[in-house]
A and B are shown apart, each in its own frame.
Chain A
Amino acid sequence: MRHSNLFFLAVFILGCGGDAPESGLQTPHAAAPAELSPDQLEHGIGPISSLTLAAVDPALAERGHTSFEMKCMSCHRLDERYVGPPLGDVTVRRSPQFIMNMILNPQEMSERHPEIRALVAEYMLVMPQQNLDQSEARAILEYLRSPSQ
């Protein structure tokens, strides 16, 4: 069958070589942090490369508030450390792209970005992938940057 060569190859490698090759099927495994570009270090790793912000849109912020309550606030409070870091001042600390990339791509951010790796070590938890789409992530960003939050 089509797997026959693979079978013997695998046995040979396991038997003689020691380290089995990672399948790498599901998740990109940790690469050296040094590989990140200055842009990735500042804006994170993920689908958001550039973003222009206008004045806060209250309706969008309200939608973001709803999503935040459903999918984020189990672990994040605004003004205190909870399961994860407080987020009240996150828009001061991070770029808008960084925030959205962290929401959309937490697994890779946790593995590759040195500052998030440090947070994982501190909080002992990788931020869950909550399957938000870009428009939801954008709305949460609006909520986090709105003065009413």
Chain B
Amino acid sequence: MQSGRILGASLVAATVVLGACGGGGMDGVHADAAQAVYVPPGEHDEFYAFLSGGFNGQISAYGLPSGRLLRIVPVFSQHAENGWGYSEETKAMLETSWGFIPWDDAHHPQLSRTNGVADGRWIFINANNTPRVARIDLSTFETDEILEIPNSAGNHASPFLTANTEYLIASTRFSVPIPQRDVPIAEYRDNFRGTISFIRADRPGAMDVAFQIVVPGYNYDLSHAGKGPSHGWAFLTTYNTEQAHTLLELNASRRDKDFVAAVNWQRAEACIAEGRGQATPTRYRHNHMNSETRIAESVERRSVLVLDPANCSDMMYFLPTPKSPHGVDVDPSGEYIVAGGKLATVIPVHSFSRMLEAIANQRFDTVIQGIPVLNYEAVIAGEVENPGLGPLHTEFDGRGNAYTTAFLSSEIVKWRLGTWDVVDRIPVYYSVGHLMIPGGDGTEPWGRYLLALNKITKDRYLPTGPELAHAAQLIDITGDRMRLLLDFPTVGEPHYGQAIPADRIVARQRQIYRLDENQHPEATLSEARTRVERRGNRIHVFMTTIRSHFAPDNIEGIRVGDTVYFHITNLEQDWDIPHGFAMMGATNSELLLMPGETRTLLWTPTRVGVYPFYCTDFCSALHQEMQGYVRVSARGADVPLRWGTGGELRSR
């Protein structure tokens, strides 16, 4: 044991040294990298990092610099770990106008912000496939609200927040017929449109689409809001201005330039206030976790305000931008708008002040559907030469440096704002998409670290068959040269991320749900009130848990053909004392109950017999004793309904 520890430490050191000296061009790994990311047992990380899970539809919270996984927060997908989307209270969160959807694809977490700085209240994220946005409350790490977005398809340029969380901006990746109708695909140009939705985001429980701007039928890819002088504007990349509808990899790559769209959303607000929006019938869902009952409610909404740029002059402009731009990132000062032209050989940087001048001087090349196209030379601030192959996304350290990912050449390129000179580059493993610097998309980056969010893992870890975890790589950006510190596997695809100093989240943590605030209509707030009720074929079990028993734990009189609702209240009031509940043969899932919480499991017994239930979350020394039995009788049997714990069964 003792020698093992010493050997382990030596191995770490040896590995680091090997990595630095010989490891196949692993530039940037230093001998002190292990110490730089080491957080001793019992100590906490400096930052929370929130990474999307991509195709798993969730968010994962990690500590930085250690890379330790803290928790998976379920959002758009059912989550077996805690019953999200399985329990009766949470099913409604996954309702859409299409019905219940158990699994989506989530890409871009965005922390709520005040004056362009993340404030730790909430984090938002998009569902790509069936367009939705979600708000997660960071006092509980629970998804509180999900809003479906009508007139959208492929909600990729989403959700990007304005500087004070006034709006969450969400756009269609796929243009589609709006409103949807039965038309030939080949008539794309005539019928297909995009939308840019402005969603009111700063009122919990009242998220709604404030208005949508209907835009030409391109693909809208990514977005960022302005800040400082450019506050009040939103910027979005477009590609496929060719308006191809098949074989886009060829047909959407023909033009020399596509556009960055600049939208003056304060001007749009004024047009809406003047009544220039058109109320348009549609159907979409708003789902919200009631904070008192902690039961999700899903409501259908049937109208949305749509604004046509032709009816709102001076609201929207196109900035020509080379070769299918992907990311669009605004520097901390709000002056520079950096576009990652994924097929371009340079990184174009537009100037906000030059853009305003060009608008004032009407430096328009043309006008498309009421949207002026500005002259490229009139808006460009500079071009970064030799930025790597396939530049995608840029973030900032607040010290005049920008960092851009290059997907094809698998590297991060560091360059100077203003001179546009590349000053450093570091390889990453492999095929980096987004990158994330704590606060690096805001007005006051915390800097220190850069996290490369990689698409392909290959040989980085011990192999696990054809399917591998994705990877994130932590890079120290405090010095002149970037230094690779850590490489860790992630849950799902770490598509994009956000990070924030830990104290901004720790300060608002909730430890329990208070029993005396529990307004769940089926809550059982005392063991004295536990009972079983028959209402026709429906059985309602009002059950409590505490270390280490269920009440009731013996139930008789249930019959095949009944539908049983276990309404279980965890009477614990101490932090980190959840109980679990599993019923043999339940085709739904298990429950996990936080202290003071009520959750409901639906069970349809199908076989005569006596079946156990038990606590699934190791709660105490007597956890293995935390169990019960349900007796299931045949259809029509006359076994009376009775229940109890620790004594005679009772019937009332």
Give A contacts to B, CB under 8 Å: 1, 3-4, 6-7, 10-11, 14-16, 18, 23, 25, 69-71, 73-75, 82-83, 124-126, 128-132
Contact = CB atoms under 8 A, between A and B. Distances in A.
A137 to B, nearest CB: 13
Given A14-B5, A124-B622, A7 B35 contact: yes
Contact of A129 (B2, B515, B525, B573): B573
Given A7-B40, A14-B5, 6 more contacts: A23-B41, A71-B571, A124-B622, A125-B622, A129-B573, A130-B573
A56 to B, nearest CB: 22
A70 B516 contact: yes
A133 B402 CA distance: 52
25 contacts: A1-B32, A1-B38, A1-B65, A4-B32, A7-B40, A11-B5, A11-B6, A11-B9, A15-B3, A15-B6, A16-B2, A25-B42, A70-B516, A71-B573, A74-B527, A74-B549, A124-B621, A124-B622, A125-B548, A128-B546, A128-B547, A128-B574, A129-B574, A130-B572, A131-B573
A70 B525 contact: yes
Which 3 pairs between the two chains have the least Cβ-Cβ distance? A23-B42, A69-B526, A4-B35
B571 A7 contact: no
Given A4-B35, A11-B9, A125-B621, A70 B526 contact: yes
A69 B551 CA distance: 14
Q: Which of B43, B526, B574 has the most CB of A within 10 A?
A: B526
B214 interface: no
B628 to A, nearest CB: 14
Nearest to B2: A15
Interface in B364-415: none
A66 B630 CA distance: 30
Contacts of B9: 11, 15
Secondary structure dominating the interface of A: loop
B2 A74 contact: no
B419 interface: no
A25 B40 CA distance: 13
B620 A74 contact: no
B450 interface: no
A83 B43 contact: no
A73 B38 contact: no
B360 interface: no
B546 A75 contact: yes
B476 to A, nearest CB: 9
A3 B621 contact: no
Nearest to B571: A74
Contacts of A23: 41-42
A131 B574 contact: yes
A87 B298 CA distance: 46
A6 B35 CA distance: 9
A3 B42 contact: no
Contacts of A18: 2
Contacts of B636: none
B43 A3 contact: yes
B2 to A, nearest CB: 6
Contact of B526 (A1, A10, A11, A73): A73
Interface in B502-526: 512, 515-516, 525-526
A125 B516 CA distance: 25
Range class of the B interface residue count: 35 or more
Contacts of A74: 526-527, 544, 546, 549, 551, 571
A82 B527 CA distance: 13
B40 A6 contact: yes
B39 A3 contact: yes
B40 A71 contact: no
Q: Which of A1, A16, A74, A125 has the most CB of B within 10 A?
A: A74
A1 B547 CA distance: 42
A123 B9 CA distance: 44
Contacts of B551: 74
Given A74-B544, A82-B646, A125 B620 contact: yes
A25 B549 CA distance: 29
B282 to A, nearest CB: 46
A134 to B, nearest CB: 15
Contacts of B512: 131
Contact of B574 (A4, A16, A130): A130
Nearest to B529: A69
Nearest to B547: A128
Nearest to A6: B40
Interface in B12-38: 32, 34-38
A116 to B, nearest CB: 16
Contacts of A128: 546-547, 572-574, 577
A122 to B, nearest CB: 13
Q: Which of A70, A71, A129 has the most CB of B within 10 A?
A: A70
Nearest to A24: B42
B247 interface: no
Contacts of A70: 515-516, 525-526, 571
Interface string B476-516: 00000000000000000000000000000000000010011
A25 to B, nearest CB: 5
Interface string B517-541: 0000000011110000000000000
Nearest to A13: B5
A10 B621 contact: no
A128 B516 CA distance: 17
A7 B35 CA distance: 7
Contacts of B35: 1, 3-4, 7
A73 B43 contact: no
Contacts of B43: 3
A82 B528 CA distance: 14
Contacts of A15: 2-3, 5-6, 9
Nearest to B7: A15
B38 A3 contact: yes
A100 B556 CA distance: 39
Contacts of A75: 546
A128 B9 CA distance: 40
A73 B527 contact: yes
Interface string B40-54: 111100000000000
Contacts of B39: 3
A128 B576 CA distance: 12
Q: Which of A14, A23, A125, A131 has the most CB of B within 10 A?
A: A131
B515 A71 contact: yes
Contacts of A6: 40
A83 B549 contact: yes
